[in-house]
Amino acid sequence: MKKYLLSLAIAGVALISACAKTDKEIAQATLTETADNTKTIGTAKFYELSDGKIRMDIEMNFAARADSNVAVHFHEHGDCGNMGENTHGHWNPTKEAHGKWGSAAYHSGDIGNIMLDNKGHATLSVTTDRWSIKDGDIKNIIGRGIIVHGGTDDYTTQPTGNSGPRVGCGVIEAVK
Ligand SMILES: [Cu+2]
Ligand SMILES: [Zn+2]
Q: Which helix (H) or strand (E) holds 2?
A: helix 2-22
C-alpha of residue 155 to centroid of ligand 2, in Å: 8
- On the question of pLDDT at 43 being above 60, the answer is yes
C-alpha of residue 54 to centroid of ligand 2, in Å: 19
pTM: 0.88
Domains of the chain: 23-174 (2.60.40.200)
Q: pLDDT tens digits for 147-163?
A: 999 999 999 999 999 99
Contact 73, 110 (CB under 8 A): yes
In this prediction, what percent of the chain has a pLDDT beyond 90?
86
C-alpha of residue 11 to centroid of ligand 1, in Å: 43
46: Cβ contacts below 8 Å, ≥ 6 apart: 25, 26, 27, 28, 54, 55, 56, 131, 133, 141, 172, 175
Contact 128, 63 (CB under 8 A): no
Residues linked to residue 115 through DSSP beta bridges, in sequence order: 69
Which residue type does 156 have? T
Instruction: At 57, give phi and psi (nearest 5°).
Output: -105, 115
